[in-house]
Structure 1
Amino acid sequence: MKHSVRRNSIVTLTLLPALLLTLLLSGCMANSTDPNPQQPLKIAVDSEEYYNFAYRTFIEGVYPDQQIELIELVPDEKGTPPEEYIRKVREEKPDLILTAIWRYGALVEEGLLADLSPQLTAGSSMEETDLYPGMIEWMKQDGNGILYGLAPEFSSQILYYNADLFAKYGVAPPTDGMTLEEIYKLATRFTEAGGRKDGTVGLHRQYSNMPYSVLSAFAESEGLRMYDSRQGITMNTPGWRDLLQKVIQLYKNETLSLKAPKVTKMEADGITIYNYEDDGSGDLFGHGKAAMTIMRYTADSNNWPFKVGAVAPPVSEQDRSRSNGIFVNKVMAIGAEVDNAAAAWQMIELMTSERIAKIKAKNTRSGFSVHRTYPQYRKDPLVERLFKLMPVHLPPDRGEGVHDSNFYYDFEALINREITAAVQQNKPLDDVVSAIQKEGQAMLEAASRTE
């Protein structure tokens, strides 16, 4: 779907909250000069709703005279296959591309993006050192060493803990710089202190406490992948055996429970939807029955009915300056050989600027601005510490070879089944690994067939 969006300044600005309007006008409008506001800026977005939510307030608030032509590439919930998305970008030739990070690598491979490095050289209005280095590294890794895009924000998980429970059981609280294994060992202290008798567990992640999710968390923290859609299942290695044994032992010693949250499956317009029922089993931490949880940063921790502490997310055993709890979701890029690259860059520069960082610091529900000044405006010591962590980033398996999305659910069920068998029936580890490798490979091959 393709359509133009032309709004005058009155209509656009009345949609802005008073605080954002004041900051935009005072900080940006006075210095905003469009290269050619009469030349439409072609912006490719996943959907107009996505653009309205993440960008419109800022872009159209600062540049109200700039004509904008939105090109919707993922107009409905059924999504757009990767090859179709690439075809649309090649055909439409957008000046600016705003999309999810997992599409970025394919755009790079197809040669559809411009190198942004010349815009960030020393002496420019913005330099690489002005931005969160973890984001720059992420973009370059997925760009084969070249900076083809920038993310306007990044997110982070946090290890939250119930300080009341730690005091009750006489356990020292967690600290920054702990690995996931160390955190689980800390969680075991509650089992050893008789927490199970009181219905208390050491660590519980909402809707992520089953074997597949736990195993994934360990693997991602060390940059490991269970499978590659092109190379097959990759779990028959000593490293994977060690991780599987760790996870099995966590369930055997009752640090973790195999009780699954209640899930209902619905079909709507050809889309499968899974709903989790809130019966208390999904959020033990929120109900005061878990000492720790790992979840995305939230400013609403005061809403929990107990004293809450927070530290940085688990770090990698190989490099404690890195954490897989830090991640990038969005990317902004300029199309290769387009007509309005100057205006497109202005939008990227705006969204990654100190001015937007100052605004986003007031909105505690948004991600963290990538500008290095964000922590000083956010005024949260934890956020300042997060900016010193680098991500553990494994370039995504974009799944071009997987044509049946049921593979992902079936493979997750296979992992859950095999680890459960090892816990409850003492199934030997060799047999667990063999079953996962053999059945998983058959699933992947079946899902990769095009007929």
Structure 2
Amino acid sequence: MMAKNRKLQKVLTVSLIATFGMGLLAGCNGGKAPASKEEKVLRIGVLSGGYDDSYFRQQYTDIYEFTNQNIKIEIVPAIDQSQYRYNDGTEEYVQPDYLESMKKIMTGSNPVDIVVSDTSTLKQLIQENLLKQLDPLMQEDKFETTDFVPAVIDGIRDLGDNQIYALSPSFSSSALFYNKKMFTDANIDFPTDKMTWDEVFNLARRLTKGEGKDRVYGFSFNRYRGSDPYWDMQTYVSALQMKTFDDKAETMTVNTPQWVKIWETMSKLSKDKIIPDNASLEMDSGENWNAISSDLFLSGKVAMTIGESYYVNEIADANDNAAKIKNYTPIDWDVVTIPVHPEKPDIGGNIWLNNTFSINSSAPNAETAWDFLKFINSEEWAKLKSRGSYEMVARKSFIQPKQGQTYNIQAFYLLKPLPPSNPKDDKMMMEKPGLYSITNSGRSSFQEVIDNKKTPEEALKDWETKGNKMLQEIKNNPKTQFQEDGTPFVPEVSGAARAG
């Protein structure tokens, strides 16, 4: 009898899945049955992958395959990461060229139908006319984008000169979390959306209090102990798209009034201990670790911090388990947008379109590819995936506060994403790996400002001089890299690598 019941339960479960799947399919195809039952292979090109593509399939393709039994999906990585798992160190690591590798699987003898990429690669593929414009297909099928988050759809339009060459079913985002009680206790109004960085920093000064281990900081660029003001500064300057050196990587560009102002602002916040640093937040040897001890916001060490959208769940979990956490009081919190710069009031540095889906202009199965894109960007798909917590779905109708909470959820999608990096810059960084050391070399100069050994002007001039020497070394030999002290060296190429 039990075996019979289990068999019946299994049949019912499969039936429910099938019913659900057909509902999705009907919703995505306007209730029409698929035009053909011909067996087809839909090939999806991704930037990187390898031995296990189960996560990608669970996220994007399993349901489509289930509801389209005649279609088999193949995942084709532009860069097969499996090759690096077995490198024993005898071969030199060569930074892969993702763009060129993607173009190969798009233009070869068996081209992929769909391209999944980041915005930087997407922009270059658009410029090289390698992708199919989606606007005509959307108009023909009356595929509306009015429900899409502006940060997503406008960001995509910007990449295509106001035309759409891709769709993204989800996105990642951050916002400014704040402790409401700290503001109320200090008799300070809560922050609001689209405040400038200077306005937020002024609030942080008013909220900072205490000394030593009891100090409460007004603001932190992230919620983790171990903050570094120099690297935190990258979040502050990202929307300004500040350059460290010129487009040819020949001359430093940091000795400017704008860089001086940035270093003045950031160094003063650090020196005045408005933001935390490594030394001020080291845990005592006798301090017991618990689930919130390394979290500055949950442990009450900062009044405002930048956090990802999934941080909402971590706060809720801590509050729900407050009775189990020693010396923890549930936090009353809310969020507003990431601060902005006055010259770019609608752009935030913490919105990412991680996976954009496009159709290869040479796709053998372009019609099926479009059907798949409609499917994963449909209302039905968004409704299903909105239960997840890591990324947010692109359709506003299905972006709701988690677990019955109430907070300013639009803060996560009010701003537009940063313009993507220039693929030419990415390629240059790949061909000249020593360039990564140029940015790192500024850290010691910035520390001298914090230590009151130099003014921002003096430190930036020193960084300029040091950086120009490093750039010259790289110009003489593009393979030049640098040690911690700035000493140049050229990595030896192993015999195996030379033979290859």
The bucket for the TM-score relative to the shorter chain is: 0.7 to 0.9
Answer with 1 or 2: which has the greater Rg.
2
Post-superposition CA distance 1:178-234 (Å, at most 9, x none): 22222222122233x336561321222135832333321221233434456645643
Q: Which runs of 5+ in 2 are unaligned?
A: 1-9, 85-94, 283-288, 319-327, 480-500
Kindly tell me the number of residue pairs found equivalent between the two proteins.
420
- The residue number in structure 1 matching 2:354 is 329
1:296 alignment partner, one of 264, 289, 308: 308
Q: Percent identity?
A: 22
SS at structure 1 position matched to 2:71: coil
Matches within 5 A, 1:71-110: 71-76=76-81, 78=84, 80-82=96-98, 83-91=100-108, 92-110=110-128
Alignment correspondent of 1:63 = 68
Partners of 2:178 and 2:15 in 1: how far apart? 35
**Residue 428 (structure 1) aligned with residue 455 (structure 2):** yes
Q: Quote the offset at 1:248 in angstroms.
A: 1.2
- Counterpart secondary structure, 1:93: coil
Q: Supply the RMSD in Å over aligned alpha carbons.
A: 3.5
What is the alpha-carbon distance in structure 1 between the residues aligned to residue 469 and residue 66 of structure 2? Answer: 53
Correspondence 1:352 to 2:377 = yes
Counterpart selection for 1:28 from 9, 25, 29: 25
Instruction: Tell me by how many angstroms 1:133 deviates.
Output: 2.6
Per the normalisation by structure 1, the TM-score is 0.80
C-alpha distance in structure 2 between counterparts of 1:166 and 1:17, whole Å: 53
Q: What secondary structure is seen at the aligned counterpart in 1 of 2:408?
A: helix
How far apart are the structure 1 equivalents of 2:14 and 2:242? 43
Question: Which runs of no fewer than 5 residues in structure 1 stay unpaired?
Answer: 1-12, 263-276
Match of 2:420 among 380, 395, 398: 395
TM-score (norm 2): 0.73
Give the equivalent residue in structure 2 for 1:221: 239
**Match among 231, 254, 262 for residue 273 of structure 2:** 254
Q: Any idea what SS the aligned residue of 1:255 has? A: coil
CA gap of 1:197–1:41, structure 2 versus 1, over 3 A, is closer
Q: Alignment partner for residue 219 of structure 2, among 203, 226, 230?
A: 203
The one-letter code matched in structure 1 to 2:216 is T
Provide, for residues 93-147 of structure 1, a one-character-per-residue CA deviation record: whole Å limited to 9, x for no partner: 21111233332123223332111121223x6331343422322222233334432
Distance in 1 (CA, whole Å) between partners of 2:437 and 2:166 is: 34
Distance 1:63 1:247, change over 3 A: same
Q: Which residue of 2 aligns with 1:38?
A: 39
Residue in 2 that maps onto 1:10: none
Spell out, residue by residue over 1:392-438, the C-alpha distance to the aligned partner (whole angstroms, 9 max, x if none): 42331331012368546533432321111011033122222223333
2:364 to 339, 360, 365: 339
Matches within 5 A, 1:357-436: 357-363=382-388, 365-375=389-399, 382-384=408-410, 386-387=412-413, 389-398=414-423, 399-403=426-430, 407=434, 410-436=437-463
- Other-structure match for 2:342: 317
SS in 2 for 1:149: coil
SS at the partner of 2:361?
A: coil
**Is 1:235–2:260 an aligned residue pair?**
no
User: How many angstroms apart in 1 are the aligned matches of 2:181 and 2:419?
Assistant: 37
Q: 1:120 aligns with which of 138, 142, 147?
A: 138
Matches of 1:439 and 1:35, distance apart in 2: 65
Say if 1:157 and 1:296, in contact at 8 Å, map to a contact too: yes
**Residues 158 and 310 of structure 1 are in contact (CA less than 8 Å); yes or no, is this contact kept in structure 2?**
no
Q: Provide closer, same or farther for how the CA distance between residues 224 and 361 of structure 1 changes in structure 2, counting only shifts above 3 A.
A: same
Cα pair 1:214 1:247 within 8 Å, conserved? no
